């Protein structure tokens, strides 16, 4: 295909996975009706606990659990590919922060978050296990899609690894926490990863009292082509092969780069 219709859906997740499943299902059905090929939902929307974050340990569900299975069932017979974030039990006492890619009733790919949000006086690693595997690309109607999650966007080497593997589109489910300069960081980093790699970026940010929302789609030359505000919304845009190829001819950063990026994980440092 020469083009792909993409969407980023944002909402405020609650502590009730059944309610969040219904919200996600409604967004999926609306996206399908709108002809969307790729829908990106926010990070960790199985359940959200603002004050009591360790509860994600007891509320985490496996990929074959009722939340993912229920949402996969919604996609059965549809054309839309859905990316959604959950917390998934690990072999230890802390779950993974996991992205699941769904299409036509099946799980297509799984990515477990590499970079945990231990910054700005927060410590995601208190309740989440960091993974160490760069995810394979996902084919969506001929476009190669790379997976990242929220804090990953601050680490350009991951986006570069995905781009050099062939990614045309980078997706970024997030729950970007409010705070001084945080909105500026969000827009700057999402735009930078698009420009760094001459790739489209589809960033879906959870909204609500804790998080900024502000989902956006940025093209390979750093131009925002769709943006949301702070309220629940679904934004759409068209990814085109023509724009992607033209950007990479005009700005051949992937060809001009002088250094490789090694996918070998660096040992985690414990404070």
Phi, psi for 97 (deg, rounded to 5): -95, 110
Q: Which of 32, 150, 206, 207 is catalytic?
A: 150
Q: Which of 24, 32, 94, 113 is catalytic?
A: 113
Q: Which of 43, 88, 124, 206 is catalytic?
A: 43
* pLDDT in 10s for each residue of the chain, 271 residues: 899 999 999 999 999 999 999 999 999 999 999 999 999 999 999 999 877 778 899 899 999 999 999 999 999 999 999 999 999 999 999 999 999 999 999 999 999 999 999 999 999 999 999 999 999 999 999 999 999 999 999 999 999 999 999 999 999 999 999 999 999 999 999 999 999 999 999 999 999 999 999 999 999 999 999 999 999 999 999 999 999 999 999 999 999 999 999 888 888 765 5
> Would you call 24 a catalytic residue per the annotation?
no
Tokens of 103: 């299409």
Task: Please answer whether residues 169 and 147 qualify as being in contact, where contact means their C-beta atoms are separated by less than 8 angstroms.
Answer: no
How big is the CA angle at 59 (ends 267 and 28), to the nearest 5 degrees? 95
3-251 CATH: 3.60.110.10
CA 211 to chain centroid? 15
CA distances to 36, 41, 101, 103 from 82, in Å: 10, 7, 6, 6
d(CA 201, CA 195): 10
**51: Cβ–Cβ under 8 A, 6 or more apart, which residues?**
none
> Would you call 43 a catalytic residue per the annotation?
yes
> Would you call 94 a catalytic residue per the annotation?
no
pTM of the model: 0.97
Task: Please answer whether residues 106 and 72 qualify as being in contact, where contact means their C-beta atoms are separated by less than 8 angstroms.
Answer: yes
User: Tokens 């990026």, residue?
Assistant: 261
Spatial strand order of the sheet with 216-218 comes to 138-140, 143-147, 169-174, 200-205, 216-218, 224-227
């Amino acid at each position: 295909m020469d083009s792909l219709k993409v969407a980023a859906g944002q909402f405020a997740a609650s502590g009730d996975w059944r309610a969040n499943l219904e919200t996600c299902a409604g967004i999926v059905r609306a996206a399908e009706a709108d002809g969307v090929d790729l829908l990106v939902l926010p990070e960790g929307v199985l359940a959200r606990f603002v004050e009591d974050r360790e509860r994600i340990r007891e509320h985490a569900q496996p990929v074959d659990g009722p939340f993912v299975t229920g949402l996969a069932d919604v996609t059965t017979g549809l054309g839309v590919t859905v990316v959604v974030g959950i917390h998934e039990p690990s072999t230890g006492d802390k779950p993974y922060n996991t992205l699941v890619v769904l299409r036509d009733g099946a799980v297509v790919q799984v990515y477990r978050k590499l970079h945990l949000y231990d910054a700005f006086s927060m410590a995601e690693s208190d309740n989440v296990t960091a993974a160490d595997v760069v995810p394979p690309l996902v084919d969506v109607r001929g476009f190669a899609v790379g997976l990242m999650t929220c804090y990953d966007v601050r680490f350009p080497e991951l986006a570069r690894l995905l781009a050099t593997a062939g990614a045309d589109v980078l997706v970024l489910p997030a729950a970007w926490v409010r705070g001084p300069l945080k909105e500026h960081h969000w827009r700057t980093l999402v735009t930078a990863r698009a420009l760094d790699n001459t790739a489209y970026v589809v960033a879906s940010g959870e909204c609500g009292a804790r998080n900024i929302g502000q989902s956006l789609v940025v093209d390979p030359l750093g131009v925002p082509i769709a943006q949301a505000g702070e309220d629940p919304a679904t934004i759409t845009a068209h990814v085109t092969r023509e724009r992607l190829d033209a950007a990479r001819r005009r700005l051949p950063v992937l060809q001009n780069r002088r250094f490789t990026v090694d996918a070998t994980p660096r040992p985690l440092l414990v404070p």
